Amino acid sequence: MISSSKLLERAISLYKEGHFQDALKLLDKITDAEFHIVKHYHRGLVLARMGRLEEALEAFKEIHEIPARIKGFDSGSFLHAYYASLGSLLQQLSKIKNEYRDDAITCYEYALQLKGTDARLWHNLAIAYIDLGMPGEAIDKLKRAIDIEPDFHDARYSLALAYEAIEDIDKAKEQLEKAIETSGTSDIYEKHLATMLVRASRYDEAREHVEHVLLTEPEEPEMLGDMVIILHGAGDFAGAARYYQRLKATGAELGDKWLDKVLIELQDAMVKED
């Protein structure tokens, strides 16, 4: 008969290799009470990765109390991992039911008491506050994440979003530029920077970023739409019309009310020219 420790070891290995169903089957075979906590912790992780979020939460709820000593694990590290994982799960569930968001924040805060140098956890906590519509509360937490890990470009991007939400465009721009600098793949950041500057009517600053993206993605709908707005704002209706035709050729529907208004004005101008 295979021991519980061997079953757990093999299940974790399968889980890391992406064989979630097989890992779950092995975990369900563990009956040793001494492995109750780690069994259900890993069941929660596996079920979450499988997208079975409610079942994952039920697995975590099987862990009623974590003792001072856990066979094969450091109790403090396990507590940190448990509350970090539970917080992440609750944050995912909060997109379905808002009621989970406060619990996610509580879990993150407790995990950070155990290990305050976890940059990813500070970032996750900040995102929970942004999702709550409290970007001001997120800013200091994102700064903590960046202090711990200066090249954490996702945290810089999130910090930019928080600054943008409180309408501090200069600080948002600074963080997006740093995210571009520290990231190996910066397209998402540069696109957001371009569109943010367009929204702020800072067309000259936006244009260089739009043009840079269009060099490698000449049919990128959002950037084509931004260029329509930029050229329209500069009074270059002919240029705006050309980019509008390129945008139409992509077949994309951006659902942008601001762009729609510009396009109506452009179409009116084009009709008058005819």
pLDDT value, residue 38: 87
pLDDT of residue 125: 97
Q: Return the residue matching tokens 């001001």.
A: 136
270 burial type by CB count under 10 A (0-12 exposed, 13-18 middle, 19+ buried): middle
In terms of Cβ atoms closer than 10 Å to its own Cβ (0-12, 13-18, 19+), residue 48 is buried
What's residue 268's pLDDT?
A: 59
In the chain, what are the domains? Answer: 1-115 (1.25.40.10)
Cα–Cα distance, 177 to 183 (Å, whole number): 10
Q: To 5 degrees, how large is the angle CA 168–CA 169–CA 172?
A: 90
The rounded radius of gyration (Å) of the Cα atoms in the chain is 25
Of 164, 146, 147, the C-alpha closest to 155 is: 146
Helix axes 119-131, 101-114, angle to 10 degrees: 160
Please give the pLDDT value at position 271: 46
At residue 73, the 3 state secondary structure works out as: strand
Give, for all 274 residues of the chain, the pLDDT tens digit.
Answer: 688 889 999 999 999 999 999 999 999 999 888 888 889 999 999 999 999 999 999 999 998 776 656 555 667 788 889 999 999 999 999 988 778 989 999 999 999 999 999 999 999 999 999 999 999 999 999 999 999 999 999 999 999 999 999 999 999 999 999 999 888 767 899 999 999 999 999 999 999 999 999 999 999 999 999 999 999 888 888 898 889 889 888 888 766 655 666 666 666 555 455 4
